[in-house]
Structure 1
Amino acid sequence: MDLVMFYTGEGPFPGIIDLYTLGGTVCEPRAALLANKGFVVFALAFYGYQDMPKTVDKLDLEYFEEGVTFLQMQPKVKKTGIGIMSISKSGDLALSMASFLPNISATVCINACNANVMFPLHYKDMVIPPLIPNQQNITTTTSGIANVLNTLPDVTAEENRATVIPIERASCRFLFIVSGDDRNWNSTLYAEQACSRLKAHEKANYDVVSYPTAGHFMEVPYMPHHPSGLHAAVSQVVAFGGEPKAHAHAQVDAWRRVEEFFKKNLNSVDYLKSSL
């Protein structure tokens, strides 16, 4: 298991697993910034990092379960529920972890999909099939950048319903952060579908924050805006969207909300004391 762990101080602190996007590597700046706010952060790679396989054809939830167990065993980590931080492809992994694994208390999904995308997800004797993008739906802009917005099939179609993650099983609190100008996929729609599913099961354990003119890659504050970039799934430069100024402001505001969300739901007693 390849990992990078961050914390600052004596502790013990609430624990967070940080999952990055397609490619499976880690985002050390995000983990380090969270650690500076009073968390132990386990930046967990799942492929493509150091000596890990560069490509995969399936993912195993048991691997992420081992990560949860490992984090909770650390002496600096409070023996309470942990948080999960995710973005893009890792968002559906976070939803799956929250749905099937114990001891998850708070899950942040930034521009995620509510279905299992790209790879079959195995857990014990269960397999969630993947929602596979249709690359025939890729178009090209006048500047030569690929547009992949419409490549994912309809999640609600009968043939794709098995790919949808049963998040009604989860007992944690969810924070969905979505961008209205996400050109990678329709993250606003997927968050709405996820919340509708929770609501249909009489659950209100979710919050949604929307930024109408932000793009797909919502990074930590003051990181460069990426209106386009190389996409691991199609091996070409694609549009990610976002108006630069609005996107920058969104990253600052979203980060504030993420910090507050984790403090409130992972360490509620300390959070309430600090708010008095």
Structure 2
Amino acid sequence: ASQLPFPTLQVRGPGLGVVGVSKGAEVALAMASFLPQVVATVWINGTPSFYGNPVVYKDLRIPAIPYQPERAVFTEVGALDNSAVFPDPRDPAYSSSAIPTEKIRGKVLFVVGEADRSFDSKLFAQLAMARMPPENCRLLSYPGAGHLIEPPCSPLCSTSSMRKSPRPVAWGGEAQAHAKAQEHSWQEIIQFLEFHLGSVASRKL
């Protein structure tokens, strides 16, 4: 039987772009902090510190802020609201867990849903930005948008199951406001990445 050819993927370079949502945004911000080749980062409803697991990079070890699952509460439909599970990273006891965003050489676009029920994403974005030069970061904040801001036409996922969670998890968001946030943020993300990485249209075939 014949097989379809597998496309050859190449990194255009010289800089790299990283996009992350939730825990992925935490990882993306860490990559931007430690890897100089990351020149454009999109952080969507993430954290400004390491939570859950310590980070080890070369000779560096950064402790994580422990989750506090006993602080979770149930929503009106019986889902878990985890917004209180993430301790306040401003507590001096957790200062060593902060992602060193002051080391970021590239640009970061922070995208926030103000109706996020996972954690206070807007506060978290502001804390990360406070450690950065103002010219290296920008904040897009959307009232009524929830945690899972995805590409346009993706349906609002306000509640879903999650691995290792005993109950469905509440992500938040109002349908119309969330949809508008996805449409607007997607265009902003594309423009941001094209500006700092180069347009796909300019790629030589």
| Alignment TM-score, normalising by the size of structure 1 | 0.67
How far residue 82 of structure 1 moved from its aligned partner, in angstroms, is 0.7
Distance 1:158 1:122 in 2: 21
Report the counterpart of residue 103 of structure 2 in structure 1: 169
Alignment pair present for 1:119 and 2:68: no
Alignment pair present for 1:87 and 2:24: no
**Which ranges of structure 2 fall in alignment gaps of 5 or more residues?**
1-5
1:187 to 115, 118, 121: 121
Q: Percent of aligned positions with the same letter in both sequences?
A: 34
Report the counterpart of residue 161 of structure 2 in structure 1: 230
Distance 1:93 1:139 in 2: 26
Instruction: State how 1:1-276 maps to structure 2 within 5 Å.
Output: 76-199=10-133, 203-232=134-163, 234-267=165-198
How far residue 233 of structure 1 moved from its aligned partner, in angstroms, is 5.7
Q: Is the CA contact (8 Å cut-off) linking 2:13 and 2:197 kept in structure 1?
A: no
Distance 1:232 1:116 in 2: 20
Distance 2:125 2:90 in 1: 13
Distance 1:187 1:128 in 2: 22
Report the counterpart of residue 19 of structure 1 in structure 2: none
Distance 1:177 1:142 in 2: 27
Distance 1:93 1:237 in 2: 24
Q: Alpha carbons of 1:234 and 1:163: their partners in 2 closer, same or farther (altered >3 Å)?
A: farther
How far residue 197 of structure 1 moved from its aligned partner, in angstroms, is 1.4
Aligned residue identity for 1:140:
F
Q: Kindly indicate whether structure 1 or structure 2 has the higher relative contact order, using CA contacts under 8 Å at least 6 residues apart.
A: 2
Aligned residue identity for 1:119:
N
SS at match of 1:236: coil
**Which ranges of structure 1 fall in alignment gaps of 5 or more residues?**
1-5, 11-73, 272-276
Distance 1:82 1:91 in 2: 15
Aligned residue identity for 1:219:
E
Which moves more between the two structures, 174-183 or 127-136? 127-136
Aligned residue identity for 1:96:
A
SS at match of 1:231: coil
How far residue 78 of structure 1 moved from its aligned partner, in angstroms, is 2.3
Aligned length: 196
